[in-house]
Amino acid sequence: MEHTRVRNTVMGWALLLVIACGSGSRSPTAVPPTPLTPGQPIPLTAVTAPDANLADPNDPGWHEITEYVAETAWAPPAHPSVNLRYDAAAPTEPVNFRVARDEDRFYVRVHWSDGSNNQANAFDQFADAAAVQFALDGGSATPYTMGGPGAPVNIWYWRAGDDTPQDLAAGGFGSTTRLKTADVSAEAAYDDTNDGEWTVVFSRSLSAAGEYQAKSLATDDIHLTLAVWQGADAQRDGRKRTTIGWIVVHPDAALAIAQQ
């Protein structure tokens, strides 16, 4: 009887070890994000897997796409109200992102640390938010600080607690205008482990009609920047953190990846 009990115990531990090892082999290996320097071009990954759902921030398909990390700094003050709170000596903070496309849509997945989930937006409360900004005809010559006269930008803006994202255009500080479109989507997930993290996936069809839209996301070089707002720190409007300069994405590289 004692020998049987020992044998069963050993077999049980062996089975648990096999299950643990098997489960570990199926889990994606965590790969550190690739540091991105200002001006460094990156390829756009084309995803051809039929079961991928890149609109979902937690879809396993995102593990196959290179993640980059860029530093964010306070947006340069362009209005006296922002200048009162601007701290040029504040350290930079990282934001992680991935860019991809499938046959129909273009995706940007933005991921950053945030110790509090802020969704209220009232007189003295501010919601967490994120945005992706695209240079239009001016390309890299466009000011990355909300564009400028004759050099407009297209902005996809998400704010926690809102049902739908906003599709915006701007040509300099104070000129932000909401566009009458319904194609920009944003799906968000907050993880309260690891001190809190937001992940937001922005997406839109690869081409779009209408003025001030980022066009030809499948064929032309894409110039984009990222911005995040921490509601707990009373960040809103121009008080935000942005990546420094334009991030250049080469769609031509995506075609080569898709054909491998």
Integer Rg of the chain from CA: 22
pLDDT tens, residue by residue, 83-136 = 556 566 677 899 999 999 999 999 999 999 999 999 988 777 899 999 999 999
The reported pTM is 0.83
pLDDT for res 20: 33
154: which strand partners? 134, 169
Q: Is the dihedral of CA 50, 56, 60, 64 positive or negative?
A: positive
pLDDT for res 202: 98
Question: Which residue positions in the chain have pLDDT lower than 70?
Answer: 1-29, 77-89, 253-260
Burial string for 58-70 (b: 16+ CB within 10 Å, else e) reads: ebebbeebebbeb
CA atoms within 13 A on the CB side of 146: 20
